[in-house]
Structure 1
């Protein structure tokens, strides 16, 4: 009779308890799979690119534009390699409740500053040619069933459409896929000139400048120099790295990363207590079975292997099922609302962290049950049973 057979026999002997324990572990890793993926997405990405790019906005806030004349002044500051710009359009498709993140940009500069956007040369060239062209993420195109060449009407909560038009008309020039390790943000970009020529207010302004630093230039120091340059201007600036900018944006809703850590930590602390106490109770109820195994010749290491194997089997089975469920849930959720969520399902770092947690959880939770099993004496066990 193999160890695995003995382990399965013991689990089947307490089917209800084993099933509940498996479900508890499954739920814990399901939650970890969802929150861990979100944490990874918020706290990762293309460091090589983001660390060399500044996002510069008005000190008064993101909704207050900056003069386009700032571009040449920024370009003249030592250490600046290239300056791009972007304006949020406040776009929606068909219904105001169906917002789609869209930016009006200088096309060529944006593509150079965002090498994580993977698209064909044909799509890139078409986008550069078409003044009302639109580059769409693959997830958004899949949700709305858009194809290259489609004419897309978009509304805006900020800008009235061109005179005589019911909506802003765009042509899908291409579809891109993000190579960002943190999951590509699903958005669209169009030409700034098309917006600027047809909007009724805020002409020749932009919501933000994207500044790329020259090699060897410290990006934080460059941001400080830029802000100091415009400190006496009517429109003061606030510069931050790409990563810091997005973290500050999420911070408006509270310290999300800290909350995720708290929830995950509490879940696994509770899980450890549940698994350890339940396994210990099971061992105490199987005192006679363990005594029989010792009588027929099982050594201490073999007893320890049986108890440890049972706990690790439950931990890994529940953990893997939970991760699988989280991956399916993430895929369904990002597919349903790609305009709000990054295009990420289950990153490998989260999977590797989960496997390590499963191993540590199983080993720590097994300490008390293994100790109780090793201390079982056949004579005492049979006398208690009798």
Structure 2
């Protein structure tokens, strides 16, 4: 029998106990996987840019900015590209089926943010072929069951000149995003068509997307853009995408602190449960440990055997919990802001190893120090 087989059989000595321990560990890592995925997706760790800047009205993102700001921002020598956009919030078929549309200039958005969104020249050309055409993000297309060439109707809060709130679009293409963490749960429409048809707010935009030149500090450029419009009728606030997401969440609560407390409480509870259970399990096997020492097992090998058991429990339970968390992020949809990234996985593996060793140290130390005479008396 190999060392690993002996460790595994000891861990499964009482299947019900081992199963319950693994289940408890799995629940803890399911909580961790979901909360870490939420932080990763919602606070910009997955896809949010530290360099790409958003310029919005200082009074709030619901307040518009003049389209004329475009030329003044573009005139800055440190700006590589700038685009504008107007958001259209609406629904398809039923009010609960909410979709978001960004009305943009196709060429400008491709230059400023095309790489992140996966806007290829073919997609931009397809969008420019008709004023009522849109590009749909892959996540939104899959959620709605849409395909290229399909005609869709959106009821928006943005009223048309004829008083209607119904907008009709033809799907010209589907953009994929740079990677799986990119938000693609929205549509891209043409600003010129939307601006010409809407009843109010003509020649205004909700914000600008600014890409600094390589080597330019985004913070310095943001301050300079805000200073440019400080004395205007619509002063601006310029932030990176990541800064905005973090500031938005802080309006409600310190999400990071709350998540840390919840996860910390779960892990401390699991730590106490597993340590107590392993101490009891080692005490049950005192006679066997004495026999192993008589047969020549060194104290180091006995310690490694106990540590291996706790690592096996945490590895099996943690893998199950993380697998469920990954499945939850896949089925929940991007609108929940969950992103199970490689960073989350690596941190989880490190926590599994740390907790597995920490819970096994005390039981392993007790087994290592157990005198042979005392072990035989326990029978």
Provide Cα deviations, 1:216-253, integer angstroms capped at 9, x if missing partner: 33221222122122111111111112221222222223
Q: Which position in structure 2 is the counterpart of 1:127?
A: 127
Provide Cα deviations, 1:310-331, integer angstroms capped at 9, x if missing partner: 1111111111111111111211
Provide Cα deviations, 1:92-150, integer angstroms capped at 9, x if missing partner: 11112211122111111112211112255433211122211111111211121111111
Report the 3-state secondary structure (helix = DSSP H, G, I; strand = E; otherwise coil) of the residue aligned with 2:215: coil
Q: Which position in structure 1 is the counterpart of 2:187?
A: 188
- Sort the Cα spacing of 1:122 and 1:92 in 2 relative to 1 into closer, same or farther, 3 A: same
Provide Cα deviations, 1:259-296, integer angstroms capped at 9, x if missing partner: 22222222222222222221112111221221122223
Give the superposition deviation at 1:25: 0.8
Q: Structure 2 CA distance, aligned partners of 1:245 and 1:88?
A: 16
Give the superposition deviation at 1:46: 5.0
Q: Which position in structure 1 is the counterpart of 2:292?
A: 293
Report the 3-state secondary structure (helix = DSSP H, G, I; strand = E; otherwise coil) of the residue aligned with 1:82: strand
Q: Structure 2 CA distance, aligned partners of 1:212 and 1:5?
A: 57
Output aligned runs, 1:228-267, within 5 Å: 228-267=227-266
- Sort the Cα spacing of 1:297 and 1:81 in 2 relative to 1 into closer, same or farther, 3 A: closer
Q: Is the 8 A contact 2:11 2:313 kept in 1?
A: no
Give the superposition deviation at 1:4: 3.1
Q: Which position in structure 1 is the counterpart of 2:359?
A: 365
Task: Choose the corresponding residue for 1:374, options 355, 368, 372.
Answer: 368
Report the 3-state secondary structure (helix = DSSP H, G, I; strand = E; otherwise coil) of the residue aligned with 1:366: helix
Report the 3-state secondary structure (helix = DSSP H, G, I; strand = E; otherwise coil) of the residue aligned with 1:148: coil
Provide Cα deviations, 1:53-85, integer angstroms capped at 9, x if missing partner: 221111111111111122222223442333211
Q: Structure 2 CA distance, aligned partners of 1:294 and 1:87?
A: 75
Give the superposition deviation at 1:383: 2.2
Give the superposition deviation at 1:27: 0.8
Give the superposition deviation at 1:166: 6.7
Q: Which position in structure 2 is the counterpart of 1:349?
A: 343
- Sort the Cα spacing of 1:78 and 1:302 in 2 relative to 1 into closer, same or farther, 3 A: closer
Q: TM-score, normalised by structure 1?
A: 0.91
Confirm whether residue 14 of structure 1 aligns to residue 14 of structure 2: yes
Give the superposition deviation at 1:181: 6.5
Number of residue pairs matched? 377
Q: Structure 2 CA distance, aligned partners of 1:350 and 1:82?
A: 33
Q: Which position in structure 2 is the counterpart of 1:310?
A: 309
Q: Is the 8 A contact 1:126 1:173 kept in 2?
A: yes
Output aligned runs, 1:57-76, within 5 Å: 57-76=56-75
Q: Which position in structure 2 is the counterpart of 1:52?
A: 51
Give the superposition deviation at 1:44: 1.9
Q: Which position in structure 1 is the counterpart of 2:118?
A: 118
Confirm whether residue 142 of structure 1 aligns to residue 136 of structure 2: no
- Sort the Cα spacing of 1:324 and 1:7 in 2 relative to 1 into closer, same or farther, 3 A: same
- Sort the Cα spacing of 1:166 and 1:231 in 2 relative to 1 into closer, same or farther, 3 A: closer
- Sort the Cα spacing of 1:299 and 1:277 in 2 relative to 1 into closer, same or farther, 3 A: same
Report the 3-state secondary structure (helix = DSSP H, G, I; strand = E; otherwise coil) of the residue aligned with 2:99: coil
Q: Which position in structure 2 is the counterpart of 1:225?
A: 224
Q: Structure 2 CA distance, aligned partners of 1:162 and 1:343?
A: 38
Q: Structure 2 CA distance, aligned partners of 1:52 and 1:294?
A: 61
- Sort the Cα spacing of 1:343 and 1:187 in 2 relative to 1 into closer, same or farther, 3 A: farther
**Greater CA drift, 9-18 or 317-326:** 9-18
Task: Give 5+ residue unaligned stretches, structure 1.
Answer: none
Q: Structure 2 CA distance, aligned partners of 1:280 and 1:129?
A: 72
Give the superposition deviation at 1:13: 2.8
Q: Structure 1 CA distance, aligned partners of 2:302 and 2:193?
A: 75
Q: Structure 2 CA distance, aligned partners of 1:145 and 1:176?
A: 15
**Greater CA drift, 237-246 or 292-301:** 292-301
Q: TM-score, normalised by structure 2?
A: 0.93
Q: Which position in structure 1 is the counterpart of 2:30?
A: 30
Report the 3-state secondary structure (helix = DSSP H, G, I; strand = E; otherwise coil) of the residue aligned with 1:90: strand
Q: Structure 1 CA distance, aligned partners of 2:165 and 2:235?
A: 36
